[in-house]
Amino acid sequence: MMQVVKKMLLSAICLFAAANALAADAMLKPFVLASDNAGTVAEKSAEVKRALSGAGFTVVGEYAPFPTADIIIVTSDALKKNAAASDFGGYGAVQRIAVTAAGNKVQVSYTNPVYMAAAYRMAGDLADVSAALGKALGRMEEFGSAQGLTASQARKYHYMIGMEYFTDPSVLAEYGSYDEAVQAVDAKLSKGANGVGKVYRVDLPGKQETLFGVSLKGSGENKYRDDAFIMSEIDFHDVKSTAHLPYEVLVSGNKVYALYARFRIAINFPDLSMMGKNSFMNIMKTPDAIRSALEATVKK
């Protein structure tokens, strides 16, 4: 009888371990499609904001990069707590919800918190935030990559050999202190100079780290940093990845950082081809154009 019990326990342990292994190897995708229904962007945005507020999220900013889209940026106590516990966790202090007109319907989608937690190497997996967003907005499917990435793949992601990882950001400026840096960056972004504007600001509790969301505008020779231009080249599938925007600037300590675009864009569009129609080649000048615009805006 004892042998039978031991075998049963061993089997249970093996099944539990196998289940955990499968969970760890689950394929994650950058975005979640919440709904795809008739309506208008304005109507859906209002519904989304009400649902988010009721679910305990705080709207910190809103951005319309082009007439057919509205992006709502939110944070929560859970997001800020996890961000504060992680190195450069400020990038994960928000989630982005997009309302996009596509065809004769309006898509509501959002960044996948579990995917982003892995991509930004955060302390927790944000599964609780994912569940809360799904309950508030819906969850039809994950999208943004045909196969997806495991959490471990996302944590060490780079597009290809020689390109940047999460740990290779651009250092945009350095100030005398954290307070000086935050005040200066806030003031400079609020002016909207160089086509770079402020969309939101989130301060992390108990940590010298502040995340700013920024809008990027440009035309002519400066089009390569323009949000609308970039998305017109790379966001070409039927289900739109509008929640890729807006870009971020992070003040951590007395320095100002931004994820380099070859990482920041690629982690949200991991299947984008290097060459051909709708490829990285079409926005080849974008990474340096974004960095230059951000540096010119936040420099001391």
Residue 230's pLDDT is 98
Share the mean pLDDT of the chain: 92
Domain extents in the chain: 21-298
Mean pLDDT of 25-54: 96
Cα–Cα distance between 253 and 230 in angstroms, integer?
A: 31
Q: Helices 286-298 and 178-191, interaxial angle, to 10°? A: 110
Name the percent of the chain lying above pLDDT 90. 89
Peptide bond into 67 cis (omega under 30): no
Please name which of 245, 94, 259, 254 lies closest in space to residue 185, comparing C-alpha atoms.
Answer: 254
Cα–Cα distance between 289 and 193 in angstroms, integer?
A: 15
The one-letter amino acid at 236: F
Instruction: Look up the CATH architecture of domain 21-298.
Output: 2-Layer Sandwich (3.30)
Asked whether the predicted pLDDT for residue 91 surpasses 70, the reply is: yes
Residue 279's pLDDT is 87
Which pLDDT tens digit goes with each residue over 185-234? Answer: 999 999 999 999 999 999 999 999 999 999 999 999 999 999 999 999 99
Which pLDDT tens digit goes with each residue over 125-176? Answer: 999 999 999 999 999 999 999 999 999 999 999 999 999 999 999 999 999 9
97 neighbors 109 (Cβ within 8 angstroms): yes
Cβ-Cβ contacts under 8 Å for 208 (sequence gap 6 or more) = 178, 251, 252, 253
